[in-house]
Structure 1
Amino acid sequence: MRYVRIRVTPRGRAAFHPLGERLAEDPDVIRGAIHQMDLLADGTGVMLAEARGDQERYEEILETSEHVLDFAVTGAEGWWYSYTHFEPTPLTERMVRRREESEAVMEMPVEVEEDGSLLITLVGDEANFADAMPPDADVYDVEMLSTGERPPEGDDPFADLTGRQREILDAAVRLGYYRNPRDATHEDVAERVGTTPSTVGEHLRKIESRVFSRFVREGGRADPD
């Protein structure tokens, strides 16, 4: 099993998506890692990412972005995590689909540098590494940082969630369960996904335990767990 560590830099822009560009242009917000990004059946995307700086300004940017459908932010001690439901651009959609279709595994999280570059580690058969990148070579540059033998070391915060738990989490975020103050209750989420409020409550407790508790930070920016 081989790995390759690469830096992917967008050309002529600060990010691969307009939301990322707005965040990059604001001096009070510093983007961190992208822990998960997936496309839903309706073509929209969901992303779990981290950032630091002015949290109120960060939330204001998400609130006013035409590309953001809904979001929830949690965290303290200077770092926070956002679960964002967004409209992907054709480029970002191609990037996510290529990652999903490739036989090479993209390890998560993906680090975001200040200039908008993404630090990505791919693991698998070396012959499949090129297939993991979208066919848009005119909009980004790729720099190989290191390569060698190594087993996968992915850290997917959603890996332990069942399909049903992902559905309930998505419904909770869309309905505003994680807003402050909350715009939805267990009953609202239960009605959306076709189950009971007690089942929703049980699933959300498990989700919060398995996902958000992994990002507890001690004394600054520590590793998850």
Structure 2
Amino acid sequence: MKCLRAHFDADENPFGSPYDVFAVDGRHPRGELRDLRLRPDGTVVELCVLEDAPPDIEARLADHPDIVDFDAGETADGGVVCHVHLVPDDDVRRLLELVDEHDLLLDTPIRLTREGVVVNVLGSHAQLSGAVASLPDSLTDAFCVDGLSDYEPVRGGVRADLTARQREVLEAAVERGYYDIPRRVSVEELAAELGCSQSTVSEHLRKVESRVMNRLG
């Protein structure tokens, strides 16, 4: 089985106006889609776990003409979880139809980042190639393939215990060389890159390190 790693550029906003309700101060939301399903009537149900959301998220959801129903609440770490039933635009509906038509699987969670929506799609090389070739023309500019490899499932472990935000901070720290010897990036630089305060980055890294040490101890 192959895994196609790809993302949709947020600047192209390929997911339609319902997703604008999650924007914070004009920025695209960060979080995960834990589940995403196309119903027989063409509507979509999804479970979103957001690291941050506008304070009036429930009012936005209630007022949006393409949102059929929703249930939203706060998470223990200050985020928001939303179960949403919505009417997608034609491109999103077509994307989910392609998944079914080519017998593909979405490896959840689907990551929502400031830069775009990151997806891992599973199937044979032929199935994946056929789906990519059938993408609507309106989505080709937003769709970027990041890689294709044999599928390697993520097993339980320390990483599975981390929140989405902790994983994001950890990935940035590792990629930028925070744990290299000598260290190649500072907490201040990581904070600027991640768009948060130094104290927030330090707190996330301490929590990650605490989980690692407790597992090893």
So what's the TM-score if we normalise by structure 2? Answer: 0.62
| Distance (Å, rounded) in 1 between the aligned partners of 2:110 and 2:81 | 14
Superposed counterparts of 1:174-193, under 5 Å: none
Give distance in 2, aligned partners of 1:15 and 1:110: 15
Q: How far apart, in 1, do the equivalents of 2:111 and 2:28 lie?
A: 15
- What amino acid maps onto 1:18 in structure 2? S
Q: Quick check: 2:52–2:80 contact (8 Å CA) kept in 1?
A: no
Distance (whole Å) between structure 1 residues aligned to residue 163 and residue 114 of structure 2: 23
- Give the distance between the partners of 2:127 and 2:5, measured in 1 at CA: 14
1:69 counterpart residue number = 68
Residue 91 of structure 2 aligns with which residue? 91
Shift of 1:152: 5.0
* Aligned-partner SS, 1:138: helix
Q: State the superposition RMSD in angstroms.
A: 3.2
Deviation of the 1:151 alpha carbon: 4.3
Against the structure 1 CA distance between its residues 26 and 60, is the aligned structure 2 distance closer, same or farther, given a 3 Å change threshold? farther
Alignment partner, residue 147 of structure 1: 148
Are 1:68 and 1:84, in contact at CA under 8 Å, matched by a contact in 2?
A: yes
Alignment CA distance shift 1:135-1:145 (3 Å)? closer
- Checking the alignment, whether the CA contact within 8 Å between 2:30 and 2:51 is kept in structure 1 is yes
The residue aligned with 2:123 is 124
User: Which residue of 1 is the match for residue 49 of structure 2?
Assistant: 50
CA–CA distance in structure 1, aligned partners of residues 122 and 102 of structure 2: 11
- Please tell me the residue identity of whatever aligns with 1:48: L
SS at match of 1:77: coil
Indicate the residue corresponding to 1:198 in structure 2. Answer: none
* Cα distance in 1 for residues equivalent to 2:154 and 2:127: 18
Q: Percent identity among equivalent residues? A: 18
Aligned pair in 2 of structure 1 residues 29, 52: CA closer, same or farther (>3 Å)? farther
The residue number in structure 1 matching 2:23 is 24
For structure 2, list consecutive stretches of 5 or more residues without a partner in the other structure: 169-217
Partner Cα separation in structure 1 for residue 44 and residue 8 of structure 2: 21
Question: Residue 125 of structure 1: CA displacement?
Answer: 1.1
Shift of 1:44: 1.9
Letter in 2 for 1:150: Y
Given that 1:69 and 1:87 are in contact with CA atoms closer than 8 Å, whether structure 2 keeps it comes out as: yes
In structure 1, the gaps of 5 or more residues are 155-214
**Residue-pair matches, total:** 162
Shift of residue 138, structure 1, vs aligned partner: 3.2
More helix per residue: 1 or 2? 2
Change (3 A) 1:2 1:13: closer
1:52-90 CA distance string (max 9 Å, x none)? 334532222211111111101132322221100111222
SS of match in other structure, 1:148: strand
Q: Is 1:80 aligned to residue 71 of structure 2?
A: no
Superposition deviation, residue 14 in structure 1: 2.9
TM-score, reference length from structure 1: 0.60
